[in-house]
């Protein structure tokens, strides 16, 4: 269970993991979805969702997600949980699994089997039986032969990262758990209920990818709305144990709407500014939409989808590359980031000095870009000052 106990928040550097139980704060989950989502700007719904009054809808507790709703006699077999990027869907699945493993909740379930679509993508060209697939990921299950005699939950996290066809219309019906076929056929039949119909399925996804699963295959849709305002305070007081720092961050968040809103860009030019005054380390720039939010990132490079200016130990570098060291004229107060998507240009400026710092030219952008902000490690309080982000504006 160490995989689920130690988690990486946001885009973490190597080795920087946190105990999930130390900071986990209950998220607002509700049945249904809030409406049509614009794929280009779905992340901008975070603030709107988190500001919705909880009284409008009845929240669903994480430990009750497979329990019958009021008025229902039976629990739902297949549940899809949607939510914008970074809102906490994966953390929910980790917490559900960890609480089950530690005997805190859902002890009527005999096996919780968590998968990610990123893991399953790697098996696209291989064939397994369902039993072989389970043994491949969960060695301790090799002695189990009859899963239909147990209460089993399959967690399929990150449908939006799926690179399998998921051809529900043309894939053959598959009911034999011992017979080998493609992972795609196993998944479509598992979700559809033809393969191991007694199992429960929990799928998480960004809203824009939800239509990869036919509506008739999903018994209930839930949505993660993020934190309500009181939940935000609980989270930050858990995350930052020093009371003055936690209060300062909470106060800043209440007054800075731009901290809640991110927007992607796939054409044209855009510019934003970030105050870095009194910080000893930070990173900022842009990252492509598909960068991993869940793994350790040991190198912020264009190959990995990052165009980042780093500051650490009084040194500036581009993409954390020692070969691209940049002079620091004076203590930086505010950094401007300019991107010309169509020209393949990312430029950084010292706003106060009105001076150019560095430009990356000839960049290849093949998908939407998002602003990237990394406040750096706390460093024993020496780097506790927050980054202050000016609203992101797109220009002609």
User: Phi and psi at residue 334, in whole multiples of 5°?
Assistant: -150, 135
Residue 44: predicted pLDDT: 40
- Reply yes or no on domain 2-224 having CATH 3.40.50.300: yes
Helices (H), 130-281: 130-137, 183-192, 229-239, 243-255
- Asked whether the predicted pLDDT for residue 162 surpasses 80, the reply is yes
Using alpha carbons, select from 108, 103, 104 the residue that is nearest to residue 67. Answer: 108
Q: What is the mean pLDDT of residues 254-263?
A: 52
Domain with CATH 2.60.120.920 in the chain: 263-395
pLDDT range class, residue 320, cuts 50, 70, 90 = low
pLDDT range class, residue 329, cuts 50, 70, 90 = low
Q: What is the mean pLDDT of residues 138-161?
A: 92
Residue 85: predicted pLDDT: 74
Mean pLDDT of all residues belonging to the chain? 82
Q: What is the mean pLDDT of residues 176-196?
A: 98
Q: What is the mean pLDDT of residues 84-97?
A: 88
Q: Check: CB of residue 394 under 8 Å from CB of residue 265.
A: yes
Q: Could you give the CA distance from residue 266 to residue 38 in angstroms, rounded to a whole number?
A: 14
165 C-beta neighbours (distance < 10 Å), count: 15
Lowest mean pLDDT across 60-74, 162-176, 235-249, 315-329? 315-329
Q: Which two tokens mark 107?
A: 């002890």
CATH of 263-395, one of 3.30.70.100, 2.60.120.920, 3.40.50.970, 3.40.50.150: 2.60.120.920
pLDDT range class, residue 232, cuts 50, 70, 90 = confident
223 C-beta neighbours (distance < 10 Å), count: 22
Q: Could you give the CA distance from residue 348 to residue 357 in angstroms, rounded to a whole number?
A: 5
User: Phi and psi at residue 223, in whole multiples of 5°?
Assistant: -130, 135
- Asked whether the predicted pLDDT for residue 380 surpasses 90, the reply is no
Strands (E), 162-262: 181-182, 200-205, 220-224
Q: What is the mean pLDDT of residues 132-140?
A: 94
Residue 46: predicted pLDDT: 42
Quote the distance between the C-alpha of residue 136 and its chain's center. 25
Q: Could you give the CA distance from residue 189 to residue 168 in angstroms, rounded to a whole number?
A: 8
pLDDT range class, residue 12, cuts 50, 70, 90 = very low
Q: Could you give the CA distance from residue 227 to residue 52 in angstroms, rounded to a whole number?
A: 10
Strands (E), 178-294: 181-182, 200-205, 220-224, 269-275, 281-288
- Asked whether the predicted pLDDT for residue 109 surpasses 90, the reply is yes
Is 249 or 233 the better-scoring residue by pLDDT?
233
User: Which pTM was predicted?
Assistant: 0.67
Q: Which two tokens mark 370?
A: 């998002």
Residue 56: predicted pLDDT: 57
Q: Could you give the CA distance from residue 266 to residue 276 in angstroms, rounded to a whole number?
A: 26
Q: How far is CA 279 from CA 57, 59, 327, 331, 348, in A?
A: 41, 39, 17, 10, 17
Q: Could you give the CA distance from residue 87 to residue 291 in angstroms, rounded to a whole number?
A: 15
Residue 396: predicted pLDDT: 46
Q: Which two tokens mark 363?
A: 């960049």
């Amino acid at each position: 269970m160490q995989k689920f106990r130690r988690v990486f928040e946001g885009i973490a550097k190597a080795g920087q993991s946190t105990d999930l139980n130390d900071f986990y704060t209950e998220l607002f989950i509700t049945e249904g979805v809030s409406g049509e989502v614009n794929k280009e700007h779905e992340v901008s719904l975070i603030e709107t969702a988190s500001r919705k009054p909880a009284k409008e809808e009845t929240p669903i507790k994480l430990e009750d997600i497979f329990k019958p709703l009021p008025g229902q006699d039976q629990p739902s077999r297949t549940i899809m949980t949607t939510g914008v990027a970074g809102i906490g869907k994966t953390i929910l699945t980790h917490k559900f699994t960890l609480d089950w493993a530690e005997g805190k909740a859902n002890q009527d379930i005999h096996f919780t089997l968590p998968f990610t679509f990123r893991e399953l993508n790697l098996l696209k060209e291989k064939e397994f039986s369902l039993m072989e697939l389970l043994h491949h990921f969960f060695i301790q299950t090799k002695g189990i032969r009859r899963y239909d005699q147990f209460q089993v939950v399959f967690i399929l996290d990150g449908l939006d990262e799926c690179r399998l066809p998921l051809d529900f219309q043309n894939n053959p019906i598959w009911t034999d758990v011992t017979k080998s076929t493609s992972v795609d056929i196993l998944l479509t039949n598992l979700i559809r209920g033809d393969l191991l119909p007694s199992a429960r399925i929990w799928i998480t996804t960004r809203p824009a990818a939800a239509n990869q699963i036919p509506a008739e295959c999903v018994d209930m849709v839930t949505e993660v709305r993020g934190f309500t305002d009181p939940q935000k305070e609980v989270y930050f007081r858990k995350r930052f144990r020093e009371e003055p720092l936690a209060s300062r961050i909470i106060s800043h968040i209440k007054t800075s709407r731009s901290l809640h809103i991110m927007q992607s860009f796939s054409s044209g030019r855009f510019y934003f500014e970030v105050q870095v005054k009194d910080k000893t380390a930070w990173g900022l720039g842009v990252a492509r939409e598909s960068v991993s939010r869940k793994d350790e990132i040991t190198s912020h490079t264009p190959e990995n989808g990052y165009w980042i200016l780093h500051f650490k130990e009084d040194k500036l570098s581009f993409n954390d590359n020692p070969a691209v060291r940049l002079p620091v004229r004076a203590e930086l107060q505010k950094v401007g980031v300019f991107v010309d998507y169509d020209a393949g240009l990312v430029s950084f400026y010292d706003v106060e000095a009105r001076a150019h710092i560095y430009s990356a030219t000839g960049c290849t952008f093949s998908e939407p870009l998002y602003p990237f902000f990394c406040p750096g490690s706390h460093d024993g309080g020496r780097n506790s000052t927050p980054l202050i982000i000016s609203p992101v504006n797109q220009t002609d």
